[in-house]
Structure 1
Amino acid sequence: MTEKEEAVFRSADMSLVQLYVPTEAARDIIYKVGQLDIIQFRDLNSKVNEFQRAFVKELRKLDNVERQFNLFKKELDFRDIPIKLFPYEFTNIPQQTEIDELIEGSQLLEDRVVQLRDSVDTLNQKEVDMKQFKYTIQAVNNFFAVQGDGIIENEEVALLSQLESGGEAHSASSFISGVINRDKVGTLQQILWRVLRGNLYYHSEELPEEIFDSKHNEYVAKNSFIIFSHGSLIQERIRKICESLDADLYDVETTTEARKIQLTKVNTKASDLATVLGESENALNSELIAISRDLAKWWEIIAREKAVYRAMNSCDYDNSRKTLVAEGWTPTDSITELTTTIQEYDASQSVPTIINVLDTNKTPPTYNRTNKFTFAFQSICDAYGVPKYKEINPGLPTIVTFPFMFAIMFGDLGHGFIVTLAAAALVLNEKKLNAMKKDEIFDMAYTGRYVLLLMGLFSMYTGFIYNDVFSRSMTLFKSGWEWPEKFTVGETLYAKYVGTYAIGLDPAWHGTENALLFSNSYKMKLSILMGYIHMTYSYLFSLANYTYFNSIIDIVGNFIPGLLFMQGIFGYLSLCIVYKWSVDWFASGRQPPGLLNMLINMFLAPGDVPEPLYSGQSTIQIFLLLIALICVPWLLLVKPLYLKRQLDREAKEHAEYSQLPNDEENGVAQNGEHEEVDDDEDHEEHGFGDIMIHQVIHTIEFCLNCVSHTASYLRLWALSLAHAQLSTVLWSMTIGNAFGPTGIVGTFMIVFLFAMWFVLSVCILVVMEGTSAMLHSLRLHWVESMSKYFEGGGSAFEPFTFKGLLDTVF
């Protein structure tokens, strides 16, 4: 086994391999390749319709099995039967007979489950019907007040019955009864009143329980109703109106004794139906429970089989020679592993598989190797764009810079400790959590658990430097300031400087009137320095890219003038900031100059330095300004003029070649080297005008970005101050008020206000502020850093693999 390339700083070396696979071994060979997870197959049938490829029939069979599995899963989810998920090991290639048995067994199971399900649904519908019939009979009994046999006491109903029979009111044969959804009762009343012009009597009662509606798969509130009218035509019209509103009508007997007998029969049928329904439900549940034990394993087998045939459909199948030709990209250091695996399989076969490494001018996909620690950081960069093949991968420096930029904005030892604890819980329980089914938000946190861990640790470090723990300060070392021991009331106190605090921010600044002014100036300048360092080292990556791709013109025409321009202005500003910090202005008796005004005067009034920072400042600033001005036309013209010269030379050579006699052209073609054919990739032809426009845009964008990107790093200062101030305000408005009162009231206030402070700290300062700082750190990497060297435009390496085939299912 050859040692694998790390492929973190740059993408791995890729090779295009070609496999000649005997047809009888094609399925097994592709399956073996899928287990290796090292080849990205090229589609050699891109011009062939999906339904005209060689293995469509096999895929249709497997699609049908997946449909059956989806049906099983739907039934299991509906009945809350969990699917057993185990880390199945698939080391051996399943035999074709095993797949055929699985396909046949799935069909039998589907027939059985569908039959039982339909039977249960039919019985459920009958049970619902019997229940509604029972409630309708009870409603009719409740409506009629019986004195004797079938005598109606309600005068209005008796009148309607009399009109129907043409004589005395002696029966209730004119009513229509049934059940309707409660939300349609009002609609039914309005329609009947308008159609019959009030010639009816309507009565409704609410059912004592909700009824299951199989059409909408939910329980619905319903009402029973009784409608009295006269005339068969009118009653038929009433029936049609009720049915149009999805009402269920029932024929209820007209006499009390008949209704008692009818109700007894309904209860008996309902009891027998419940028995049969229970047995059918048990049979269906037993069948589904048995399926749930192996469904995940079956599904994985079918999903792998389907992936194999899809990969085979992308290969060139020569039916006459019974050979499958496959092409794909693989890491160069994995070719030995691929060859060894296939040779081990070929040892038991009569016809071997042939592997060729092809020479090609196609651009390979980009493959950066990751592990569980680096995966999330690489995903952050890949979300912006996939690096071009062999260019520097931004994922490596992001491991350090992303959490550190976050920590500068989020710097608090206490809040960082909370983030660290949460991330540590995810890291320490990753095996258990990995086997669990996670929702989208929790899965994002779990995937980025190592990012969160570094964010928390770095925040604890910056919080220690800021001397900030939940807006409180720590006195770990002797303070560098001393307060006067004697003072009068109302006197403004000034601390005396006695030394330098050992590390971090001196706790003496906490609570002083000018604390915000001091931290404001300190963090603003610190953010400029961090931005300068971040952009400078990012810009140096472009030099590494130009050197690797042997692009001397980019070094001379882009990198060198760009570096001089950026360092001459913002490098100079950063150096002045550090120098200003190093001078003891109080001892020198001078007023420290404003660096912002100094930078503005450097451009608007060259040579004029109202408040000098050091001797000879005007000369140095004029020199740096001249260099910056020279760099602009340097950026603008050098590369386009060089490329124009190259284009003119190529055009001249082409013209000389085209003037050769035909026989000389043929001789050159025959004696020359073989051509590499690129049949997939298009190369755009750029004239001098296109090159010039591109360079003008690059020059303007670079010069403006030097200013805007440096200013963009001030977000480090702004969010850091905002986080500290919010933390201070939250402390003073909650738990800060709990330390005054004593006794029971004091105890209650401490407990209640501490809980309030802790919940608000986690929700607002950790979650909301942390998310904000993370997004700002993300922007600094995507825009300010990666724009200095990142070209992108690459295609990610997506090997044929069996991993994650069912992630969207379970």
Structure 2
Amino acid sequence: MSLIQLFAPNEVARSIIYRIGQLNLIQFRDLNSKVNEFQRSFVKELRRLDNVERQFNFFKKELDERGIPIKTYPYELQPIVAESEIDEHVENAQILEDRLVQLIDATESLYEKQKDLKQLKFTIQAVDHFFASNAGPAGDSNDETALLSQLESQAVSDSHSSNFISGVINREKVGTLQQILWRVLRGNLYYHSEELAEEVYDSKSKTYVRKNSFIIFSHGTIIYERIKKICESLDADLYNVDSTAEFRANQLNETNIKLVDLATVLNESENALTSELVAISRDLVKFWEVIAREKAVYQTMNLCDYDDSRKSLIAEGWIPTDEITNLTTTIKESDNSQTIPTIVNVLDTTRTPPTFHRNNKFTSAFQNICDAYGIATYREVNPGLPTIITFPFMFAIMFGDLGHGFILTLVAAMLVLNEKKIGASKLDEISEMAFTGRYILLLMGIFSMYTGLLYNDLFSKSMTLFTSGWVWPSEFELHETVYAKKVGTYIFGLDSAWHGTENALLFSNSYKMKLSVLMGYTHMSYSFIFSLVNYVYFKSPIDIIGNFIPGLFFMQGIFGYLALCIVYKWTVDWYAIQQQPPGLLNMLISMFLSPGVVAEPLYSGQAKVQTVLLVIALICVPCLLLVKPLYLKGQIEKEEREHQYQQLATEDELTSDDADEQDTAHDDDEEHEAHNFGDIMIHQVIHTIEFCLNCVSHTASYLRLWALSLAHAQLSSVLWSMTIGISFGTPGIVGVIMIVCLFAMWLSLTVVILVVMEGTSAMLHSLRLHWVESMSKYFEGEGALYEPFGFEGLLANVV
């Protein structure tokens, strides 16, 4: 990475920054970090563009509410959008917003009128139903029926007035209204309610609401006013309905006519609004990207400074060194200034550049795994490259099954082969995560198929691909323990003869456990070698001598020795020599607790070898602890002596007061250096303790490879035997039906539990092995991510 300085004349500064954004190469530094954001040069332009984006968000919200899709078909943008075109977009956006607001307000007003007319209609019908159902025949002795008939036929001075209160209220508030009226009026009222025939559309909430009509009878003007206030406090809509049937019929007829006319006007308004929104949807994304690019350009220009005469814009930024030529060529082609050319200078700096890893669609997902743990320090070993192989392989060790790996491979292959189509569509969070990691899933599936062949495991069943190395006896007695005879070596993977034997689990457990230890030792060893690469590159011999070499001897003297013993133990035919194979775990424990004593020897001279290795490991601990701090202390003292020599050389030129001040400064420097040495020592003590303990804990942590592999195999076996395995013993048509039904059940559970859930678990464990057990051996992760200015993904949250 290189730090460059850019001088661009004001008249072409915007176009230059625009072209740089198209290149996606420069990470600009903020040269105005001490300037308030509201006091920068282009605040006015950004506010105007923010307003346009607000208007576009308003358009999108209205489109989404009406289910009108936004057109996202490919479109072409000009290399540089003229400022006059931006002004046109700003003006058009304001015109469209005003027109839409007017149409929406008019439509909502019509919906509100329609709601009132519908509620009035339903209220009139409810009053008619109420009086019709309670009128009764003439001379009826029922007091209530007679009262209601009297209320309906009662003559008043105003023919259009009513002797009751009627209206509409939300169905959820009917009970509340009844309780309040009963308590306030002490039961001195008559209340009737019924449900409306249909839901009423509320334009404010844009939902259909269930409501009830109500009729309330009471006495006195004051009481009536009190009832109205209670109803209005519960958001009820009150309507004046006539008390006579004749006037109610006329009122209902007028309301129906108004509803018909209003429906026609409302339909025309909706069509006009929809047509306007459809026209907006065709170019909204295109215009939005133009505005988003313009906003990004001005945001970047706010990071830049000006020369003293304010005729040139000054910018600084980080760029990959091999892209400088591409940058200068592009700037020369786009520089239309006739007076002052745009200048690009490469600056010498001691600043630490951001970390940049060039990726493609295949490697980016693996790099994201490492970046999620921490951004690599500038130019240290990038863990993303080895992760391409080790991550899916660690997963496959825990997920080893040919069938399950095949299912995972099919899903990943579908995502890879249709990546353009799927990538162009909008995905939810989980689907987006799976699509981003499609190449990880593909390698995980392929590696799982490979380890499934090694384990000879296909949906918990073994395969006889080659001639077995074991032969069962042809004759044996009932209830007799039968032993197979070894006649050869199985060509590839686990011999199918182990499947179904009583000691199969015992054998596979021991085998996979030792393989997990070997895999962990290999993974940690090559990871630790990366620290040597970093030390050599950064020219730090003290880290090689004080950290790498003693650490290497400590690790290899204990766990390298354990790995070698595991391999050696496999090479010995213990049955042929009639000896019990020694336990390696007890051997390793007694190596520390009882040096020089071997209860069950693995080879001759084992006690001496283990004693030497233990002494070497013990010597490495103080080396790790003291070599680097003492070396750095010597460097500090050397710098202090050089500083004293400089002081003596200038002592004759100082006054006595100056000499006293110099001595005081010297004492402060000594305290400062002593404090630095203390920090170094504390840091080294922590590093030594962590390294020694982690060698033990991290090696044991790789046993998760064995544990999850065992759990996966056993769960697969149980699932088979508890589902489809039951159906194979049932003859006839019942057996066929059971096979079909239980196969569907087995396949569903296999995909959901064994592939999805177990696969997720294995993936997380593989992630932990890389983040903790591997990367902690060499990875500093103190870098800053390279984030160049560009126009990619500006509308990622829009479409």
Q: Which residue of 2 aligns with 1:336?
A: 325
2:75 alignment partner in structure 1: 88
Counterparts of 1:148 and 1:796 in 2: how far apart (Å)? 83
Residue 403 of structure 1 aligns with which residue?
A: 392
Contact (CA 8 Å) 2:163, 2:243: kept in 1 or not? Answer: no
TM-aligned CA deviation for residue 157 of structure 1? 7.1
User: Which amino acid letter does the alignment assign opposite residue 118 of structure 1?
Assistant: D
What SS class does the counterpart of residue 92 from structure 2 fall into?
Answer: helix
Deviation, structure 1 residue 660: 3.9
CA contact under 8 A between 1:163 and 1:230: conserved in structure 2?
Answer: no
**In structure 2, how many angstroms separate the alpha carbons of the residues matched to 1:303 and 1:582?**
67
SS at match of 1:526: helix
Residue 55 of structure 1 pairs with residue 37 of structure 2: no
Query: Structure 2 residue aligned with 1:97, among 61, 74, 84?
Result: 84
The answer for the alignment partner of 1:633 in structure 2 is 622
Cα shift readout 1:193-219 (whole Å, capped 9, x = no counterpart): 110011100000001112223333322
How far, CA to CA, are the matches of 1:662 and 1:90 in structure 2?
70
- After TM superposition, the structure 1 = structure 2 runs for residues 408-807 of structure 1, keeping only pairs within 5 Å, are 408-661=397-650, 687-807=676-796
The aligned amino acid for 2:143 is E
TM-score of the superposed pair, with normalisation by structure 2 = 0.95
Q: Tell me the distance in 2 between the aligned counterparts of 1:399 and 1:663.
A: 66
Q: CA deviation at 1:344?
A: 1.1
Match of 2:103 among 91, 100, 116: 116
* 1:282-361 correspondence to structure 2 within 5 Å: 282-318=271-307, 320-346=309-335, 349-361=338-350
Residue in structure 2 matching 1:134, options 121, 124, 128? 121
Letter in 2 for 1:695: Q
Residue pair 1:23, 1:324 contacting (<8 A) in 2 also: yes
Secondary structure, counterpart of 2:2 in structure 1: strand
Pick the aligned partner of 1:217 from 206, 223, 226.
206
Distance 1:152 1:420, change over 3 A: farther
| Aligned position for 1:674 | none
1: CA distance between counterparts of 2:388 and 2:602? 38
Aligned to 2:31: 44
| CA 1:151–1:316: 2 relative to 1, 3 Å | farther
- State the secondary structure of the residue aligned to 1:575: helix
Q: How far, CA to CA, are the matches of 2:104 and 2:78 in structure 1?
A: 36
User: Aligned equivalents of 2:138 and 2:603: distance in 1?
Assistant: 117
Indicate the RMSD between aligned Cα atoms, in angstroms: 2.3
Aligned counterpart for 1:70 among listed residues 46, 50, 57: 57
Distance 2:440 2:646 in 1: 59
Pair 400,225 (structure 1): closer, same or farther in 2 beyond 3 Å: same
Q: Aligned partners of 1:157, 1:792: CA distance in 2, in Å?
A: 88
Write the distance in 2 (CA, Å) between the matches of 1:370 and 1:147.
82
Paired position in structure 2 for 1:145: 132
Distance 2:435 2:419 in 1: 8
Q: 1:648 Cα deviation (Å)?
A: 1.1
The alpha-carbon deviation at position 659 of structure 1 amounts to 4.0
- List aligned pairs for 1:263-278, cutoff 5 A: 263-278=252-267
Is the CA contact (8 Å cut-off) linking 1:38 and 1:334 kept in structure 2? yes
Give distance in 1, aligned partners of 2:302 and 2:182.
67
Shift of 1:459: 0.2
| Residue of structure 2 aligned with 1:30, choices 17, 30, 34 | 17
2:636–2:673 CA contact under 8 A, matched in 1: no
Q: How far off is 1:310 after superposition?
A: 0.1
Deviates more, 1:446-455 or 1:138-147: 138-147
Give 1:587 deviation, angstroms.
1.1
- Matches of 1:655 and 1:523, distance apart in 2: 64
Give deviations 1:281-323, integer Å, cap 9, x for gaps.
0000000000000000000000000000000000003473321
Structure 1 stretch displaced more, 14-23 or 211-220: 211-220
Distance in 2 between the 1:418 and 1:740 partners? 27
Measure, in 2, the Cα distance between the counterparts of 1:163 and 1:249: 19
Gap runs ≥5 in structure 2: 655-671
Q: Cα–Cα, structure 1 residues 135 and 573, in superposed 2: closer, same or farther, change >3 Å?
A: same
Instruction: Report the Cα distance in structure 1 between the residues aligned to 2:475 and 2:352, rounded to whole angstroms.
Output: 78
Matched, 1:156 2:120: no
> What amino acid is the match of 1:730?
L
Q: Is the 8 A contact 2:135 2:145 kept in 1?
A: no
CA deviations over 1:729-774 (Å, ceiling 9, x no partner): 0000111111122222111111101110000000000000000000
Q: How many residues align?
A: 780
Taking a change above 3 Å as real, the CA distance of residues 428 and 725 of structure 1, as seen in their structure-2 partners, is: same
Please state how far the C-alpha of 1:188 moved relative to its aligned partner: 0.3
In the TM superposition, what is the alpha-carbon distance from 1:165 to its structure 2 partner?
A: 12
User: Which sits farther off after the overlay, 684-693 or 459-468?
Assistant: 684-693
Aligned to 2:378: 389
Say yes or no: does 1:125 pair with 2:112.
yes
* Alignment-derived partner of residue 679 in structure 1: none
Distance 1:56 1:586, change over 3 A: same
Identity of aligned residues (%): 73
Tell me, in whole angstroms, the C-alpha distance in 2 between the residues paired with 1:284 and 1:470: 59
SS in 2 for 1:501: coil
Per-residue displacement from partner, 1:7-53 (whole Å, max 9, x unpaired)? xxxxxxx0000001101101100000000011000010111111110
Residue among 367, 381, 387 paired with 1:378: 367
Query: How much has 1:162 moved relative to structure 2?
Result: 7.5
Q: Structure 2 CA distance, aligned partners of 1:330 and 1:158?
A: 95
From the superposition, tell whether residues 630 and 249 of structure 1 become closer, same or farther in structure 2 (CA, over 3 Å): same
CA distance in 1, matches of 2:232, 2:673: 69
Does the 8 Å CA contact 1:45/1:316 hold for their aligned counterparts? yes
In the alignment, the residues of structure 1 paired with residue 21 and residue 105 of structure 2 have an alpha-carbon distance, to the nearest angstrom, of: 40
1:151–1:684 distance in 2 versus 1, CA, 3 Å: farther
Are the aligned partners of 1:34 and 1:801 in contact in 2 as well (CA < 8 Å)? yes
Kindly provide the CA deviation profile for residues 510-537 of structure 1, in whole angstroms up to 9, marking residues without a partner as x. Answer: 0100000000000000000000000000
Change (3 A) 1:587 1:265: same
Give the distance between the partners of 1:94 and 1:359, measured in 2 at CA: 35
Matched with 2:657 is none
